[in-house]
Structures are given as structure tokens and as C-alpha cells.
Amino acid sequence: MKKYENRLELLETMLRIRAFDEKVDELYAEGALHGTAHFYVGQEAVAVGVISALRDGDVITGTHRGHGHALAFGLDVKKMAAELLGKASGYCHGKGGSMHIADVSAGMLGANGIVAGSMGIVCGAAWAFKRRKEDRVAVCFFGDGAVQEGIFSESLNMAAVWSLPVVFVCENNQYAMSLSVERGFANSRISEKADGYGMPGVTVDGMELPEIMEVASEAVERARSGGGPSLIEANTYRYLGHSKSDANLYRTREEIKEWRESDPIGRFAARLEKSGDLEKGGLPEIEKKIYEEVEAAFQWAANEPEPEPGSALEDVYA
């Protein structure tokens, strides 16, 4: 997994996620991509902040909105681009696509197309680590919609009763597709549910990277040292639609604009300028470098070979 050496790398990774999903959005608009995808634009600080608190051996599970988790974990942009384009050299050799990018041997246990589908799976990885006395941690990313699924409750209860080394990270982006948290919950403060399961829960500003890093480090440390699971609710927002076909009928332009004004990349870049980690006015140059890297990855992927048709019949069984 990716080791974040300095604060600039955190910024670059957030930019890479944004550049990647903006590119994917653009390709859909051109009709150059098959299928669908869900964009992480706006939520970049959550994946980067949490994953930067991890170390080699730790594992994560992502969601259908999963490009950000994979890139923050250090998956290769080219192999991800190839998967989006359905190419044989993609992470899943063209069989998974956007919603199933995984690198199991590296510890990225997969994006998951089923809302809350990986919440039990993450408990299993953590259960194995505990049973084998390995000081590894498992992180589960999920959205506010997943909290409404039954397995959310089952998983948090199991993790707490067995004191499993799990960090549950709820990316509360305010909408489960079109359903706002206000319409989906009587009590929409998701972190408060933690108390009912007997674990600590905290709400954090999901647009503010240093705050996420702080609560994630605390939760990861607790898990690693045998203190059991935690629930982090990161308040965030997806700037783009739920997926490529969203007409945004359930929210206002003003609301989107308001959230964009607290952009996690802009805020973190300003901090870095202040601290001297980033040259004043240095952001556009870094942006250019990252956007070019992503562009090059998709160009490379576009020229990669298609999978053999017969490969569709392979890999059903090991």
C-alpha cells in the first residue's frame, strides 16, 4: 500500500482522485466508456485522510463510489484506467469494471457494488488478524445509505462484541442516491449510533483533511492496540451526480455551490501554502502534473488489448 512520505503527497493524491474521476466523467460524456461509474469528486479528503493513517499489512474495503479508495491506497492509475476501459491489463482483466476494482494481495479487498456488501467481509479480515495475533487493521468505507441496511447493524455488533480491529468509516455525503439523510433517518447524526453498539463514534468535517487524519489515527491506533472498533462519520459531499445519469433533481445548485466553497483540495492547499510545504501559487503546477499523469494513463490504457472473448468463461472457479 501507499506510504505517504510528506504532506505534498496527500495533496497530490487528492488531486489524482479528482483528475481520475473528472476524466471518467468526461469519457462518459463523450460516449467513450461502457457501463456506469460513481464519482468521488468532493470526497477526496476522506479516503486520503483515513488511508494515510494505515501501514503495510492493513486492509480496506471500498464502495461502488470506489476510485478514491483505490487510488488513496496506492493502486496504479494505469491499471485502473485499463479496468475502466475493460482492458485485459486492468486490475480485474476487464471483468470487474468501475465497481469491482481490487488488489487483494496488496490489501485492497475490493470496491463493492452492493451497498453495505463489504461490512461483514471487513469483519472477517479483522477477525482473522485477531485470531492469528497479527497487529493489522481493517478499514471499511461505506456511505450513509449503507447505515440503513441490516448488515450495518450486524457488523458493528459483531465487531464490538469481539473487539475486532476495524475502523468503520461512514462517508456521509448527505444523499443515498436521491434520498437525503434527513429523509432517511429519524436521527441523522450517524456517529451517535456507535454508542448503541458499545464503540466510540465521532463526526468529523470530511472536507478538512487534517481533522480526518487525526480521528483516523486515533481509531486505527485503538484498533491496532486491541481496543476494538470505532465508527467515524465524515461529513462530506459529492459534487457530481450519483452516477453518470443523475439529473440532480433532488438538490439545488446553491447547495452544491455552497459545498464546493469548502473544497477539501483548496483548503488543504491553502494550509500547505501557509506552512511553506507548498510554494505560494504552486497549486496549478502540481495540478497540471497530476492531470497529465491521469491523461497519459488513459491514453496508455486506450491502446491496451481487449481481453480474449474466451476469458469470459474463465475464473468462475479457482
Partner 1 sequence: MPNENGTAREITYREALREAMTLAMRNDDSVFLMGEDVGVYGGAFGVSRGMVEEFGEERVVDTPLSEAGFTGLGIGAALVGMKPIIEVQFSDFITHCMDQLVNQAAKLRYMFGGEAEVPFVLRTPGGAGTGAAAQHSQSLEAWFVHVPGLKVVMPSTPHDAKGLLLAALDDPNPVLFYEHKLLYNRKGDVPEEEYRVPIGEANVSREGEDVTIVSAGLVHHYALEAAESLADDGIEAEVLDLRTLSPMDHATVAGSVEKTGRLVVVEEDVKTAGWGAEVVSRIVEGESFYALDRAPARVAGADVPIPYNKNLEAHVRPSPEKVIEAVRSLVDERVGVYS
Smallest distance from partner 1 to CB 283, Å: 36
- Of the candidate residues 2, 36, 74, 157, the single one contacting partner 1 (CB under 8 A): 157
Which x/- pattern, by CB under 8 A, does the window 88-127 give for partner 1?
--xxxxxxx---x-xxxx---xx-xxx--xxxxxxxxxxx
- Of the candidate residues 128, 179, 202, 256, the single one contacting partner 1 (CB under 8 A): 128
Smallest distance from partner 1 to CB 72, Å: 19
Give the burial class of 238: count Cβ atoms within 10 A of its Cβ; 0-12 exposed, 13-18 middle, 19 or more buried. Answer: buried
C-alpha dist (Å) from residue 126 to 21, 146, 166: 30, 19, 6
Smallest distance from partner 1 to CB 244, Å: 20
Contact status: 315 vs partner 1 (CB under 8 A): yes
Contact status: 36 vs partner 1 (CB under 8 A): no
Euclidean distance between CA atoms 62 and 109, whole angstroms = 8
Which x/- pattern, by CB under 8 A, does the window 161-200 give for partner 1?
x---------------------------------------
Q: Which among 206, 195, 259, 200 has a CA at the least distance from the CA of 230?
A: 200
Q: What share of the chain is helix, strand, coil (3-state, %, to 5)?
A: 50, 10, 40
Distance of CA 146 to the CA centre of its chain: 14
| Closer residue to partner 1 (CB): 24 or 138 | 138
Contact status: 8 vs partner 1 (CB under 8 A): no
Smallest distance from partner 1 to CB 148, Å: 14
C-alpha dist (Å) from residue 55 to 4, 68, 77, 111, 185: 10, 18, 20, 19, 35
Smallest distance from partner 1 to CB 199, Å: 14
Give the burial class of 11: count Cβ atoms within 10 A of its Cβ; 0-12 exposed, 13-18 middle, 19 or more buried. Answer: buried
Give the burial class of 133: count Cβ atoms within 10 A of its Cβ; 0-12 exposed, 13-18 middle, 19 or more buried. Answer: exposed
The contact set with partner 1 (CB under 8 A) reads: 59, 90-96, 100, 102-105, 109-110, 112-114, 117-129, 131, 138, 150-151, 154-155, 157-158, 161, 314-318
